[in-house]
Chains A and B, each alone.
Chain A
Amino acid sequence: MLQIQEVTKVYEGKVTTRALNQLSFEVEKGEFVAVMGPSGSGKTTLLNLISMIDVPTSGDIVFNGKRPRQLNSKELAYFRRRQLGFIFQDFNLLPMLTVEENIILPLTLDEQPVELMEDRLAALAEKLGLENILQKRPNEISGGQAQRTAIARALIHSPSLILADEPTGNLDSNASREVLELMSQINQEKQTTIMMVTHDPIAASYCDRVIFIKDGEFFNEIYGDERRQTFFQRILNVLSLLGGQVGDFSTIRLP
């Protein structure tokens, strides 16, 4: 459903940098994909290109057979609010809105009826365990709760693709596990396609497939298997091959 075709992105500036270089891969419907790579490998650039915040210097991004690049800015905004869901590292919840209001925000932008919003909100809140904090403000809830709120916000309009940028980067290990399990559960139950950019091999091990990029180029990809622990081990192996800054990664090894 998502095809990245020979995408190159060059940043012109005082120093010209090639953030992505002829990167190609595909994401199937219902897949949970992780993109990994050391700092500066172009992960965030890739995410920006897919979410159409940025335009590739060359190459194409095809979404469900359509090229969003050809849309004008208004159509693009509508495309984003209907087809894409976002989960950010620092949650990006709006501080002046309550949890409930943050969650339904994408639907209000799209002028959906209030009944529909309430139905979906109730269903999601129950599923993500947010019923008790719906009336609270983002500064009154924990990091894990904030990220679950952000996930609810990414899901409420049933987008065809969820883009997650380091969703566990600001969370402790318990909250991380909760969030990742939630994401993989949603992926399995609803067949939602999720693409996650991460540093964290534990986070990556929850996925179906991990794509590695290095210096903006495709490096390797591995598919998950039955046991998460062995998948994690294999991810670590690739990472050690990748070189880069191994210090970025945690050295915990699960038994």
Chain B
Amino acid sequence: MTFQQFAYHNVFRNFRNYAAFFMASFFSVFVFFLFSMLMFHPEIENGFIGDISFTGMVMAEVVLVAFSCFFIFYSLKAFLEVRSKEFAILLHLGMEMKQLGKLIFIETMTIGFLSSVSGILFGFAFSKFFFLIIRELLGLEKLPLYLSWPPFILTFAVFMGAFAVISLVSVKYTEPPKLGVLLRTRYGDQRVTYSKKGAIWGVLLLAIGYGLALMTTRMTLMFSMWIPIFITFGTYYFFSDTIFLILDLMKSRKKFYWYKARMLSIAQQYVMMRQSARMFFVVTMVSMLAFLCVVSLAAMSSYTAQYDRLNPLGIVYKGHVDNPYEHEHINRLMSELEDGEFSYHMTRFQVVKQTSAATSNEVEVFRETDINRMLFSYGLSLVHLDEGEAMFIPSTEDSIQKLEGLVVDTVLIENDIAITINQVYPAIIFPVGIISQNAIIISDEDYQSLRRPLQDNGEVPYYHLFAFDIPNWLEAKNIGLSIQQLVSQEYIINTEYSLPFYFENNGSNYSYILAMYALFTVIGVLAVIVFLLAAGSFIYFKFYANMETERQQFIALRRMGLTEGEMKRIITRHLAPQFFLPWGLALVHSIFVFIALQTLLKDVMNLIIINETIIAFCVFLVIQIIYFGLIRWRYIAHMKE
């Protein structure tokens, strides 16, 4: 028997021991391959897949590899730990550490090769189904299956490389086991060390994070930025220290702790938490991200309708009164719209800036006729104003309510025109951010007498606004692309916006938002799949590895008079935290983050996402419960064997 044969037999003759590691690797490869299939999809260059950019996909792929590597590394480490006794015997028989390293390397590569090949095969078999889901998710017309080499080669190369690196690293960092100790000990070290300080920090950081999330308003944005940091560190301390403090508190109350099989459950949690604290931390954080992604997607469905309401205009072009490009740009836009056979309605505004005496703030003044022309194309009710009357133009939905019933008597200082603002238009007619928050409509008569411009303080006294109302605005996303590029460049190059014009195409904005969401969603869904499958299989096979010892314990306990019901209860309590603690904490985190997001989004874009959030959470919970039931059932069956 050569050395290679020995390693090979090791793997194939106790495949059961290797199953945990194999499954974790297999699922990583599987998901990675599916994603590669999507990334190299020939339609993606045609912008077919919801405008997701190739660069974004590559970044997502890198993130996915990082997570997969972490998982594989973690599984390998656990796997080597389980086998430490076997290694001790080999070393006892005279094997060198170098040879042991070689053995681990050959074995890992064998498993890696097997899982890569089977992961790719299964991945290819499932890719049709996967494309179907993605198609539904992103609302694409079609996403056909294709066959080309790059996804296969990439997946294989990346994972074989990863396996080589991971096995070398873990061999390098494996300390030579202390033979005597390993061969003799019956039980591993069960002591847990934790710091009370860390435990308190965990609670404190989480409390601060949650508190900040609750107090978030648009004004406290600077503080809200810190929420993720507080929550991340809080979670870390929670799993490394706080959990043990809580368990210790439970233990110190004997009336509670010395009751029925509770002692067994709690003591077991202690050991388990120590083994998997780091993994729980990562699972919590990633689950939270996944929640955020999926909920965002759920929010999308209601977003389209709201987006239309909040952004009633297809294209907006705003230019200074002396904008030299105005003529050229408007002509170009119109000819592009005509070439694209879009029906549209253009309204040209000349907006005058004046100073209001009541607040001494700057106000933007619109003419009644111009506004009515635009309202007519919207199909909304028209405005009728008499001389001396004026109407607010609301900037957000909230401001409609706020301005309702408000009566302001004021004078436009520059031209000494007295007006009474006593109405508010009951809908949003301009997209957010295009016009000032202090915008009013006045009658044509008053507008005629606006002769003197804003007292000069460097401000431009007039501007021109071209509003294009396009019923098919979603399809008009490529209109004015060249002007859009000028605007984007200006944003990137200069900190201060210095162009004499501004352009916004809501179709392209929307498709950009949609693509971002879609990208995050795909990544989120894949991350969820990786974690659901890998974490679940990992938990299960970890039990599988310890099963013999656990079964001996249960046999002894049954002799001592443990009923079957009690055994089941112990198993439930043993498994439940592994499934629900990281997810539950992620859920709580997400709820607080959503409270913050909800307040922020409400101010920025009036998005109500509570219902979608609840639905998404419920779906997650149901999946997790089914998964838990499945594994509990298998586990009990093994224990009763």
Contact = CB atoms under 8 A, between A and B. Distances in A.
B263 A73 contact: no
Interface string B474-510: 0000000000000000000000000000000000000
A80 B190 contact: no
**Interface secondary structure of B, over-half rule:** helix
A78 B563 contact: yes
B560 A81 contact: yes
A117 B189 contact: no
Contact of A82 (B556, B561, B566): B561
A8 interface: no
Contact of A77 (B188, B258, B561): B561
Given A80-B560, A81-B561, A105 B188 contact: no
A79 B259 contact: no
A100 to B, nearest CB: 10
Given A73-B564, A101-B267, A139-B188, A108 B556 contact: no
Contacts of B187: 95, 137-139
A81 B556 CA distance: 12
B558 A111 contact: no
Given A90-B186, A138-B187, A109 B560 contact: yes
A95 B190 contact: yes
B561 A92 contact: no
Interface in A44-87: 51, 53, 73-74, 77-82, 84, 86
Contacts of B189: 139
Contacts of B566: 77, 109
Interface string A123-139: 00000000000000111
Contact of B190 (A82, A111, A137): A137
A108 B558 contact: no
A96 B190 contact: yes
B485 to A, nearest CB: 65
A96 B263 CA distance: 10
A94 interface: yes
Given A77-B562, A90-B186, A92-B553, A97 B264 contact: yes
A108 B267 contact: no
B408 interface: no
Contacts of A139: 185-190
A206 interface: no
Nearest to A51: B559
Nearest to A163: B559
A80 B561 contact: yes
Interface in B265-320: 267-268, 270-271
A114 interface: yes
Interface residues of B, number: 33
Chief secondary structure at chain A's binding surface = helix
A90 B564 CA distance: 24
A154 to B, nearest CB: 9
B287 to A, nearest CB: 27
A88 interface: yes
A94 B556 CA distance: 9
Interface string B531-557: 000000000000000000000110110
Contact of A109 (B260, B552, B564): B260
B308 to A, nearest CB: 60
A88 B555 CA distance: 12
- What class of interface size applies to chain A in its complex with B? 20 to 34
Contacts of B185: 139
A53 B554 CA distance: 12
Given A95-B188, A96-B190, A138-B187, A77 B563 contact: yes
A104 interface: yes
A117 B263 CA distance: 14
Contact of A96 (B186, B270, B559, B564): B270
A144 interface: no
Contacts of B327: none
A147 to B, nearest CB: 13
Interface in A89-119: 90, 92, 94-97, 101, 104-111, 114, 117-118
B191 A137 contact: yes
B262 interface: yes
Given A94-B267, A96-B271, A53 B558 contact: yes
B561 A96 contact: no
A127 B566 CA distance: 31
A108 B263 CA distance: 8
Contacts of B98: none
Interface in B241-266: 254-255, 258-264
Contacts of A106: 560-561
B261 to A, nearest CB: 6
A88 to B, nearest CB: 7
Contact of A104 (B258, B267, B268, B556): B258
A117 B258 CA distance: 9
Nearest to A48: B559
Contacts of A96: 190, 264, 267-268, 270-271
A84 B566 CA distance: 18
Nearest to A93: B187
B565 interface: yes
Given A96-B268, A96-B271, A104-B258, A109 B562 contact: yes
Nearest to B267: A96
A108 B262 contact: yes
Contacts of A86: 556, 559-560
16 contacts: A53-B559, A74-B563, A77-B563, A77-B566, A80-B559, A86-B556, A92-B556, A96-B264, A97-B267, A106-B560, A107-B258, A109-B261, A109-B560, A110-B561, A139-B186, A139-B189
Interface of A: 51, 53, 73-74, 77-82, 84, 86, 88, 90, 92, 94-97, 101, 104-111, 114, 117-118, 137-139
Given A77-B563, A92-B556, 6 more contacts: A82-B561, A90-B186, A95-B187, A96-B264, A108-B263, A111-B259
